[in-house]
Amino acid sequence: MTGFPRSPILTRAGLVLIDPASGAVQRIITLQYAAETLQRSLQAQTVKDEPDRSQPLRLTGPAVETLTLEAMLDATDQLERPDAHPDTVAAGIFPALSALETLLHPSVAQLERQNAQGASGSFQIAPAQTPLAIFVWSKNRIMPVRLTDLSITEEFFDAALNPIRAKVTLSLRVLSVDDLGFGHRGSGLFLAYLQSKEALARKFAGGEITSLGIGGLP
């Protein structure tokens, strides 16, 4: 998987984890290889009282957008240079997999704190808060997301049964101002993402109504 010396430097996609209060970057998870497909689904938020003939075109909020992509993790190149990658030699791709998996688990400290609150008779146990995940897929797609589902297929292992190659499927939900509230740090990122869509839409030239086989609308 080693590239040619003059191969172009490819932009990678990935997740940036930040502290929701301070905005400090806690971790950057880059996808090792560019995914071949990115499945996107957008569901409109409309007036719930259907059929409401008085408001058929009104939207109650931003569309609910979900993303699904498959990534490949492979330690082959790193294992060819063991002196430069001692962690990979010791654990394969376990560190990369664990970085993704911890997005779906409360930390041990958070679980212990919740247990202590329950043992002390606290009436309100605060849910664990994860870092704010920012999904980056080119400069036009930088959006706050929540990892909702993670599927891992480990394919090859070293002599100590550490995984050295795996396919990972990530399902992400884009977090909008409806999810976060306008005062949240991630809302500014979502609004910038939406503005980028609007700017790109304005660049679309469109077509002619005659290309639809009609001279005009009735």
In this predicted structure, what is the pLDDT of residue 2?
A: 47
**Is 212 a member of any domain?**
no
**Is 54 a member of any domain?**
yes
Task: Give the integer Cα–Cα distance in Å for 131 and 110.
Answer: 13
Task: Give the integer Cα–Cα distance in Å for 71 and 36.
Answer: 8
How many structural domains are present in the chain?
1
In this predicted structure, what is the pLDDT of residue 216?
A: 87
Task: Give the integer Cα–Cα distance in Å for 201 and 205.
Answer: 9
In this predicted structure, what is the pLDDT of residue 10?
A: 58
**Is 5 a member of any domain?**
no
Find the DSSP H helices in the chain: 76-79, 86-91, 94-101, 108-119, 177-180, 185-202
**Is 159 a member of any domain?**
yes
Q: Which two tokens stand for residue 82?
A: 């063991």
Burial (Cβ within 10 Å: 0-12, 13-18, ≥19) of residue 193: buried
Q: Which domain holds residue 52?
A: 14-203
Per DSSP, which regions of the chain are E strands? 14-18, 25-30, 38-46, 59-74, 132-136, 142-157, 163-174
Among candidate residues 99, 79, 81, 83, the one with its CA nearest the CA of residue 157: 79
In this predicted structure, what is the pLDDT of residue 215?
A: 87
Evaluate the CA torsion angle 139, 143, 149, 150 in order and state its sign: positive
**Is 185 a member of any domain?**
yes
Tell me which residues of the chain have a pLDDT lower than 70. Answer: 1-11, 49-54
In this predicted structure, what is the pLDDT of residue 42?
A: 96
Which residue shows structure tokens 């306008």? 182
**Is 183 a member of any domain?**
yes
In this predicted structure, what is the pLDDT of residue 46?
A: 86
**Is 34 a member of any domain?**
yes
**Is 4 a member of any domain?**
no
Angle made by CA atoms 110, 111, 117, in degrees to the nearest 5: 90
In this predicted structure, what is the pLDDT of residue 95?
A: 94
Among candidate residues 5, 80, 70, the one with its CA nearest the CA of residue 32: 70
Strand partners, 160: none
In this predicted structure, what is the pLDDT of residue 91?
A: 93
